[in-house]
Chains A and B, each alone.
Chain A
């Protein structure tokens, strides 16, 4: 009898401990200690109402209990962005699919020997790229939206300014709208490009046709150090996608889009500078390999290949990138002040 009681007591204490643990593991760290004490007090006080089991039944599912302790808006992506998020995720699926097919075709053509092998390589590469592409894109998209969610809270909520109808932005005229289609095409293009950089970098190079298919002769990039180069390209493309997603969300010229364009272009230019100036991104023997392939010994006079991998070549490309970025930013600044919402 005594033993039995003891066992029951142990069980009840343990049951309470377990219950409290199930609640506090779901609330923020710094509140745990206090809530633990509170719950212990509550359950102790309720003892006259019935057995421990009955009390815990009355308190209900600990997960539900914990949810009430947390602040209400603890979501990653809020209702404001949810539709855009789902929508862009669908575009992402399309982009990943295209990217996977392109990589699979390239792999299949360059590596496979014979039709059977081609199918094998094609399917293997296709599945591989689809899975890692889907996971990568979704992860990236989520990070971008979480950033947006946090930034939006900072940008949009200005409690010191009282809302009046005069703040209502004009319904955008057609010229002020940003084309969703262009952004979608851009995102898909970036994704496909990213797939190539990550999975089939040899596509950026020269090929020759052989009896068994197509063979890669030489890649323009320095594939030996590719693992330290490719993150820069990926980052540049992610930033580009971020910019496009901002455009889709706002849908028209406004300061948010303009700032996003300025910041994204600035970061990209810096990354390109690092790539060109601090890293050996080019395959230094690319031009020579082409020359050999062509059966020549020297470059002819006007041959552009003479400039391969020289500082001048890098500077020309960088200049082009800087110019293009400046033009893009200038265009956004101009359009924002001409047509953009002036409410922010």
Chain B
């Protein structure tokens, strides 16, 4: 099997789900690195060079808002879901449930083709 091909298929598969991953964790404000660790703890690996640009994009799309916290020793940028982000997140999770149910019936259990 071509290793590069599998790599690119995997990253394509992951890409769509990352937005949902990120939105799910930003009900309360977090800074970038904390978010990475947070996701890692739950078994989701995301590279910083993917996450940081993604956060900016989601902010531009008004799903997230950000604020620099300068009160601590290190200034950090905190991201949080907006109200609009909340409603989009709601829709996405519903769709995700449907999708994963469907996927499970396709490839999970005994009905999947092996």
Contacts and interface: CB of A to CB of B under 8 A. Distances in A.
Contacts of B33: 41-42, 45-46
A233 interface: no
Contact of B74 (A31, A44, A64): A44
Given A42-B33, A45-B33, A59 B49 contact: yes
A69 B74 CA distance: 23
Contacts of A35: 56
A59 B46 CA distance: 11
B75 A58 contact: no
A42 B52 contact: yes
Interface in A59-90: 59-60, 64-65, 68-69
A42 B49 CA distance: 10
Given A46-B33, A69-B56, A41 B75 contact: yes
A46 B56 contact: no
A46 B51 CA distance: 14
A38 interface: yes
A60 B31 CA distance: 21
A294 interface: no
B50 A68 contact: yes
B48 A42 contact: yes
B51 to A, nearest CB: 9
Contacts of B49: 59-60, 64-65, 68
Interface of A: 31, 35, 37-39, 41-42, 44-46, 58-60, 64-65, 68-69
The 8 closest A-B pairs by CB, nearest first: A45-B33, A68-B53, A65-B49, A69-B53, A60-B49, A41-B76, A59-B49, A42-B48
